[in-house]
Amino acid sequence: MATGYVYHELYGWHDTGTHAGLLPADPRRGLQPHRHFENAEAKRRVHELVVVSGLIDRLTRLRPRPASDEEILRVHTAAHLARLASGSDAGDGGSPFGPGGLDIARLAAGGVIAAAESVVDGEVDNAYALVRPPGHHALPDTGMGFCLLANIAIAVAAVRATRGVRRVAVVDIDVHHGNGTQAVFAADPDVLTVSVHQERVFPPDSGHRTERGEGAGFGSAVNVPLPPGTGNGGYAAAMARVVVPALERFAPDLVIVAAGYDAGATDPLARMMVTASGFRAIASSLIEAAGRLCAGRIVFAHEGGYDPVYVPFCAHAVIEALAGVTEPLPDPFSPNFDFMAGQDLQPHQEEAIAAAEALLADIPG
């Protein structure tokens, strides 16, 4: 089994500048200058752990390339591309970037394209794109939520335009709603978007079960909002009862996973409890489903995850699952997080999952 792996040092050079978490530093408001939550550390440390552990030797390095104007404009407006070329924020006032930010964003989108093309072309069996900046909140006409370009949507459009791929399923496990990907493909019955997220975190008032796609695409957007505090048991149940059955009904030619790790037990931007073993289980269920449904064609594209200490172990576990590693790196934090009360499925989480199960019948088969 060959697993492709995308990373480039420039991803760490995307500069979100001095901030107080996600707000601009402002002493007048008591906001002492610090770092932006979305800084290079978490992803850079994922890559360094992959190297230090030796996992890198099991992976096939794929070279990212910059996404072209043509590739970007399949998803975004020319006005948005022009804003990224000349500005310092992607459009919502919360997605800053430094000089050369568009070049790095092109390389992130192009990294997901390279991973998807390599899987579709059979050069590798599956792939992990460790890209930055993230992409799943970006809308056609604006960036949002630290995202400049819609990396995954651009990759989906690319393989459909140039590789003859017809049906793509995007499974978004980032703890925030995958609103951008959903919006791009809302009216398209040939792209299934499934987002599993903490209810009503970001974007505000987004990701409700009632958002189900539009027109011919009705049923092709599936939202699984989960209550705060959901851990490994709740996520496993959501995968088994909603996400995997959704993939089975849709029967994709390719699966792309928006792999965020901010559902992790220590993340500053959400309140979930997933651990490295939980992320491994989530990934394994998706890999197994892709094996049955589309010859194993699955690409993971890195999205959020803001604890630089714990995200590396969570992403490492997912990459190990992709590569079929049988003797995984132990999670040193397992004694702290895997046995916390509430890791198993709770009754109020069960209710949310049961409600989402009702959406399966309308997925276009």
Query: Nearer to Zn ion by C-beta: 198 or 232?
Result: 198
H or E segment and range at residue 197: strand 191-198
d(CA 122, CA 125): 6
Query: Nearer to Zn ion by C-beta: 118 or 198?
Result: 198
d(CA 233, CA 229): 11
236, with CB counted inside 10 A (0-12, 13-18, 19+), is middle
- Which of these segments, 76-84, 253-261, 320-328, 343-351, binds Zn ion (CB under 5 A)? 253-261
User: Could you say which of 74, 132, 176, 302 contacts Zn ion (CB under 5 A)?
Assistant: 176
- Which of these segments, 112-120, 258-266, 294-302, 349-357, binds Zn ion (CB under 5 A)? 258-266
**How many C-beta atoms surround the C-beta of residue 333 within 10 A?**
17
Shortest Cβ contact with Zn ion: which residue? 304
If binding is defined by CB under 5 A, does position 172 make contact with Zn ion?
Answer: no
d(CA 328, CA 116): 25
The number of residues that bind Zn ion (CB under 5 A) is 5
User: Could you say which of 66, 189, 260, 264 contacts Zn ion (CB under 5 A)?
Assistant: 260
Annotated catalytic residue, options 14, 36, 80, 137 = 137
User: Could you say which of 304, 329, 349, 352 contacts Zn ion (CB under 5 A)?
Assistant: 304
Q: Token pair for residue 165?
A: 């791929």
Query: Nearer to Zn ion by C-beta: 55 or 201?
Result: 201
CB of 293 to Zn ion, least distance (A): 26
CB of 122 to Zn ion, least distance (A): 31
Query: Nearer to Zn ion by C-beta: 76 or 176?
Result: 176
Per the annotation, the verdict on 19 as an active-site residue is: no
CB of 157 to Zn ion, least distance (A): 22
Which residues, other chains included, contact 239 with Cβ-Cβ below 8 Å and sequence gap of 6+? 196, 281, 282, 285, 286
- Which of these segments, 14-22, 299-307, 316-324, 348-356, binds Zn ion (CB under 5 A)? 299-307
- Which of these segments, 146-154, 172-180, 187-195, 272-280, binds Zn ion (CB under 5 A)? 172-180
Q: Token pair for residue 59?
A: 């992976």
d(CA 77, CA 56): 37
Q: Token pair for residue 81?
A: 């591309």
User: Could you say which of 262, 307, 320, 331 contacts Zn ion (CB under 5 A)?
Assistant: 262
d(CA 137, CA 144): 5
If binding is defined by CB under 5 A, does position 174 make contact with Zn ion?
Answer: yes
Backbone angles phi, psi at 195, to 5 degrees: -120, 120
CB of 80 to Zn ion, least distance (A): 21
Sign of the dihedral defined by the CA atoms of residues 257, 258, 261, 263, in that order: negative
Query: Nearer to Zn ion by C-beta: 14 or 167?
Result: 14
- Which of these segments, 76-84, 219-227, 256-264, 335-343, binds Zn ion (CB under 5 A)? 256-264
What single letter denotes the amino acid at residue 301? A
d(CA 240, CA 243): 6
Query: Nearer to Zn ion by C-beta: 260 or 278?
Result: 260
Asked if 94 and 20 touch (Cβ cutoff 8 Å), the reply is: no
Could you tell me whether strands 3-6 and 59-62 are parallel, antiparallel, or unpaired per DSSP bridges? parallel
Can you give the binding site for Zn ion, defined by CB under 5 A? 174, 176, 260, 262, 304
Just list the catalytic residues: 137
